[in-house]
Amino acid sequence: MELRHLRYFIAVAEAENVSRAALKLHISQPGLSRQIRDLEDEIGFQLFQRRAHSLHLTDAGKAFLPQARAVLQQADEAVRAARAVADGPRPEINVGYAPSLTVYLLPQALRAFQAKFPRVRVILHDLSSEEMLAQLRSSKLDLALMARPNPRSLRGLAFRELVRYPIRVAVAPKHPLARAKALSLDQIAAQPLIAYNRENYPDYHRSLAELFGSTRAKPRIVEEHDGVTGLIAAVESGAGVALVPSLLSCMVGPRLKLLPLRQTTPDIIIGAAAKADSAKPLAQSFIDLAAAVPPLGSRGDRR
């Protein structure tokens, strides 16, 4: 008995017709019938009751079918296991990312990377900026897609700019300011401000301080959140307004309105960070492909 006998038997049992099974297997009908008879001769009992235009399993055939399937499955698993050993361990890279800042960039880069390196496993880690920087230094991450940190935080790391997004003011659709075409920093300072928490996003708070440094009024932070989901929900509920990248439009849809600022302000820069002197070639390839992602364009970002 050979594995092909079992494959032929299963095909005929499922089709209940030798002609249809032969067509599926791409072999001749007489040849398939002969293989089934050879199998029955080998095991010493009939597997099928033969009628004019169909075949039906005997009781013995019904008992034999699930075991034949199990044997083929085990054989396939043995081949896969052996091939994995022969091919060696599957390479992998660990990528940290900030969800709200990479909602467009990351899927595009990941798709391009997997098309070019289908055997490489990409392990994604949703982390705060501080966590990404720490794990880059400890080599737990190979690269991180994040907002550009301050130069002191980048000590020992290289940062490559990938895309820029202008700052927008997120307000609830029924907020009194929602009808404005643009807002000033003084108007924002007069509103309760929703922010990311200081512990995990210190650069965000440094950016706020720089942004309001030239104004008399200072922001009044009423809530801090550890992720974008909480921040969006708080703004949508009317608890306050938030300063966010224009990219957030991809996530909020009609739930929030994103209004431009009247003052000219620095863009939020998103890029890739990695160890300056020991980045993996695969990590560098991922960064190169991320840099080649076309800009979002119609949603207001600019490179």
CATH code, domain carrying 160: 3.40.190.10
pLDDT tens digits, one per residue of 249-300: 888 889 999 999 998 888 999 999 999 887 789 999 999 999 999 987 644 4
* Span of 87-96, 181-190, 268-277 with lowest mean pLDDT: 87-96
pLDDT value at residue 1: 76
> Percent of the chain at pLDDT above 90?
51
* 180 and 253 together in one domain: yes
Same domain, 274 and 227: no
185 with 238, same domain? Answer: yes
For residue 303, tell me if it sits in a domain: no
pLDDT of residue 4: 87
Average pLDDT over the chain, rounded to an integer: 89
Please tell me the predicted confidence (pLDDT) of residue 297: 62
Q: Which of 60, 87, 114 marks a domain boundary?
A: 87
- Which tens digit of pLDDT belongs to each residue from 208-235? 988 888 788 888 999 999 888 899 999 9
Number of domains in the chain: 3
144 φ, ψ (degrees, to nearest 5): -140, 135
Q: What is the CATH number of the domain that holds 60?
A: 1.10.10.10
- 32-42: per-residue pLDDT in tens? 889 888 888 88
Residues 53 and 200 grouped into a single domain: no
If asked whether residues 151 and 70 sit together in one domain, one would say no
Q: ∠ CA(226), CA(95), CA(169), 5° rounding?
A: 40
Residues 74-83 pLDDT 10s: 999 998 888 8
Instruction: Check whether 302 has a pLDDT greater than 70.
Output: no
Q: Which residues, including other chains, have CB under 8 Å from residue 184's CB and lie 6 or more apart?
A: 261, 262, 263
In a domain, 181, yes or no: yes
Residue 300 lies in a domain: no
The 3-state DSSP class for residue 78 equals: helix
* Domain boundaries, position 231: 167-265
Q: Does 296 fall in a domain?
A: no
